[in-house]
Structure 1
């Protein structure tokens, strides 16, 4: 797919058939991996596809983690907590694109396709585009589901093998964005099934017009959208990796909203009369993980020692520039069940050296530190962070070589476990503790590569699995608190920071709400 236009304020004054259009340009930090929510592993791809092009059965109210009906109007739950009967919304149209004209409205067949592609290995779409359904597999849904059945065109019955307290909120996650079974069948018949994740068709507020890697993604408002029409008729993501260039484009009005500003620029942006900044605490964490399948990181003492070797406050000041909170637990403090009694590892190089000697490394050892190649909300400057870790670890005798790759390659190699130590982070998808404690640190997530510490601890696993199986929130809270204590003792990560999300924009942008789940959402946004 190619695009041919100039990215500049004058060139973006587009016109619709009605003679009037509103165009908004969003300066994005990098390319999306793909336009397939089932395959996506980054918030960039979630923003580019799931939050613009698709809808889900249930969705989180923009700016909150409150779950609301969407393509499912309502549901009933059986007394044993295993059977969900969903009533689907009628009359919702799939998008008409240059390659697809739907002949029917959304129905139960589309729900079945969305589940079965990720679930059933004999499904014709299962292997398409690599078949790496990391969210579906990290949540162990393949084993949790007993059946997904079409009762009639507007009723679906989902039966799970045992009650799972986070199941309903999981239905609001981006990987369960509803796809058109009719479009999938058309592509399969044409011999081009791979296009389903490249030329997407959904029911969402915007349709993909075209995409040119390293340049831009262009969308147009969906004229058949089942909710009120978006105020912005033409939406453009200008791919701009450098934070200073993003800011320059914002000031020049070449972009009206930008991603991931340099925290050092926030004060100056706030003082600019043409600009404003929205901010809130993010539902995310930045961390460095240890590959516990590789020596010496299979030894808890080594992991604890390297935690104690890091001055987190100095890292927060240098990398986050104060725009964040030091992280103790693997979940943010705004998530219910956060364990306030867990204590962080102190900055104690002498104790770190003693632990290394106790583990058999009195003279230290050599390792790597993988540096995140792009700015993320949970890590604004991966290279700077790696340099600081290199220095701190060097002070206790551990020599670390900095390694990095282009983002897609970095993530692929990390999922494969090629690293020894690895910078990454996680942004919550639901606001439920399970979304952090099971999906990212559970044993099932080792197989998918989501758990890049490759840490599978029996005691921890029993706690988070038991928490998933009870609907009693007080009991779940206690189990999750115990799990956080086990995590801290075992130290598969160095927990670094829970960042503050900043979204700079032009003053004329109205009704923008920060998504605590990490995406950028433009449905409902207007321009003066």
Structure 2
């Protein structure tokens, strides 16, 4: 009798163990994300695009401070705490101990993260004498556009776990700036290894960080594959693999989602959202994101250097029809200023020029623009949050400009190619968009419209206005939010007077996913972090 009971108990225990093992296997599944474009590379400080940040800074790297998921609020990351001096010039960061860098087939760290890694990562961009400063073909566009070369006086350590950053002037958004991708922390040890081996280019193709995922491989225009970091200081991610499946067409991304070939589809077209919501197998996350869609007008090109021509183009543009056709009614606000109305200093007195074709033609005649003048527009080959249908958008603008005697030559190209050529100033018009990286107005105005950004090409309008520059520089230095708001409002009036852009839209942002996806948090900054996301 006892033997039968024991055999029965042993059998039940064995079955239970098998079921638990199977459940554990089912609990951790690959997470496939249908992404809208290929990352430009993985040395994230060389780039400014959201798609590259998703595939590099959000997966592979950490920063001293980071944004709380779904917010623009700061929380500790590689720095556990910090102090700021009374004059606002000195920031002392106390570093987290025991953080591991990734171990891969091409690098095995011999030590944990420490202050030397912070110094390497920031001094590389700051100091022309740093051995890695000249090891990029395009420099450090975000660091330069944000005027960090002028802002950072020094980056030093007092011991292995304490870093002191001294500024040349107070900078109100500094902590938020330090949560952005271009301040990501690299392994100084890995940098030294590559430099000694003469393989510095591999920093962009074989990345090492402290982030939630470890890089495995990248097939351009097809797939990026990561595995979870078992030593991640916030805990191993629940997905047993993270795969970015690249599909530039939003219709293809949605088809793959419905077929369960991916479990998350980024940036569905707004007019597809109602059908996604009705599908019992799918769901949608949405947010009022800090996003602007715009067309930059190259103010250094013939004719477009004349504000009358820029005003004529703005007067011909049928904004409301454009926004309704692209985003669907209720899914986007018509843009007036370079950033959304929820942000500090938004100028409520600015108004878009009324659509007036006769006045637009008169302005072109006054500026001496011949009938039939051809201007070029660069746009991308796939849709994203700031422009879900670039081809349609371009053709609608083409029809508007034809009514005032201008011919629009539409050049559609792959995303990275468009950015490269736009930064060189080749186009008359560039269809682009921007998602705020830190929730501060400065993050729209300095990278996109400052004189420094005009020099390095990130300011596609090549617009440099001294009065505008003085106002935004002063606004960065002021701590009082009311005073900052006043300065930004004045700067936006200068922008409105000079018309360097066609301001288009502030759209809502959507993410579609399978119903069994858990732990994803949509961000108003439009970054996508999958460290806590899993497929049930």
What TM bracket, shorter-length normalisation?
over 0.9
Q: Does 1:385 align with 2:393?
A: yes
Tell me the TM-score normalized by structure 1.
0.95
Q: What secondary structure does 1:159 align onto?
A: strand
Instruction: Report the counterpart of residue 427 of structure 1 in structure 2.
Output: 435
Instruction: Report the counterpart of residue 10 of structure 1 in structure 2.
Output: none
**Unaligned segments of structure 1, at least 5 residues:** 1-14
Cα distance in structure 2, aligned partners of 1:345 and 1:374: 29
| 1:209/1:220 contact within 8 Å kept | yes
Tell me the TM-score normalized by structure 2.
0.93
Cα distance in structure 1, aligned partners of 2:154 and 2:60: 27
Q: What secondary structure does 1:514 align onto?
A: coil
Matches within 5 A, 1:385-424: 385-424=393-432
Instruction: Report the counterpart of residue 144 of structure 1 in structure 2.
Output: 151
| 2:228/2:240 contact within 8 Å kept | yes
Q: What secondary structure does 2:82 align onto?
A: strand
Structure 1 residue 127: Cα displacement: 2.2
Matches within 5 A, 1:31-430: 31-322=38-329, 323-361=331-369, 363=371, 365-430=373-438
| 1:87/1:156 contact within 8 Å kept | yes
Structure 1 residue 228: Cα displacement: 2.3
Larger radius of gyration: 2
| 1:353/1:362 contact within 8 Å kept | no
Structure 1 residue 52: Cα displacement: 0.7
Structure 1 residue 132: Cα displacement: 2.1
Residue 507 of structure 1: which of 476, 490, 515 is its match?
A: 515
Cα distance in structure 1, aligned partners of 2:346 and 2:380: 27
Out of 121-130 and 224-233, give the one that drifted further. Answer: 121-130
What is the number of residues matched between the two proteins? 514
Instruction: Report the counterpart of residue 535 of structure 2 in structure 1.
Output: 527
| 2:27/2:535 contact within 8 Å kept | no
Cα distance in structure 1, aligned partners of 2:533 and 2:476: 36
CA RMSD between the two structures: 1.6
Q: What secondary structure does 2:410 align onto?
A: strand
| 1:289/1:423 contact within 8 Å kept | yes
| 1:364/1:396 contact within 8 Å kept | no
Structure 1 residue 334: Cα displacement: 2.0
Cα distance in structure 1, aligned partners of 2:152 and 2:286: 39
Encode CA deviations 1:427-463: one digit per residue, 9 max, x unaligned.
1110000001122111011112111000000111111
Q: What secondary structure does 1:129 align onto?
A: coil
Taking structure 1 as reference, are residues 449 and 16 closer, same or farther at Cα in structure 2, changes over 3 Å only?
Answer: farther
Q: What secondary structure does 1:91 align onto?
A: coil
Cα distance in structure 2, aligned partners of 1:110 and 1:387: 49
Encode CA deviations 1:255-275: one digit per residue, 9 max, x unaligned.
100012122211111111111
Q: What secondary structure does 2:80 align onto?
A: strand
Cα distance in structure 2, aligned partners of 1:214 and 1:179: 26
